[in-house]
């Protein structure tokens, strides 16, 4: 049973436009979420986090939105750059457990 889902395996966006990556979860007890990007043959790079006490967190070009009632979070990248082309993973946990459930990833391609 996949508790964290990224239903879009891939996404293509023009450079300069907004990229929106989506993530759904099934367990309403998850209360801490992370986003990572991953290049081939490298470890995932931490991007941004959000706690369930917030509905938005922003860091530079990256903004994460959390909709607890819909059990949905999204990562917005504005403006998108070709270097953002990578696989993006969302991850969820129960705060304090340090055990994360990862989604299957969305491959983002930013077209120049």
Q: Which residues bind other proteins (CB under 8 A)?
A: 32, 34, 36, 41-46, 49, 89, 91, 93, 95-105
CA 47/CA 82 separation, integer angstroms:
16
CB of residue 112 vs other proteins: minimum separation in angstroms?
A: 27
Nearer to other proteins, 41 or 112 (CB): 41
What is the SS3 string spanning 7-73? CCCEEEEECCCCEEEEEEECCCCCCEEEEEEECCCCCCEEEEEEECCCCEEEECCEEEEEECCCCEE
Of 8 and 93, the one with the shorter C-beta distance to other proteins is: 93
Distance of closest approach, residue 20 Cβ to other proteins, in angstroms? 21
Looking at the DSSP bridge assignments, the partners of residue 56 are 65
What is the nearest approach in angstroms of other proteins to the Cβ of residue 1? 12
For residues 14 and 95, which CB has a smaller minimum distance to other proteins in the complex?
95
Residue number with CB closer to other proteins (69 or 98): 98
**Smallest distance, Å, CB 88 to other proteins?**
12
> 88, 23 in Cβ contact below 8 A?
no
């Amino acid at each position: 049973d996949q508790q964290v889902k990224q239903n879009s395996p891939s996404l293509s966006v023009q450079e300069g436009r907004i990229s929106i990556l989506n993530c759904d979860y099934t367990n309403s007890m998850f209360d801490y979420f992370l986003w990572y990007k991953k290049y081939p043959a490298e470890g995932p790079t931490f991007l941004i986090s959000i706690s369930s006490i917030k509905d938005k967190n922003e860091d530079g070009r990256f903004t994460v939105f959390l909709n607890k009632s819909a059990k949905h979070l999204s990562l917005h990248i504005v403006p998108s750059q070709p270097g953002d082309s990578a696989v993006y993973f969302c991850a969820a946990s129960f705060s304090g457990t340090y055990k994360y459930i990862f989604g299957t990833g969305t491959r983002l391609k930013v077209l120049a």
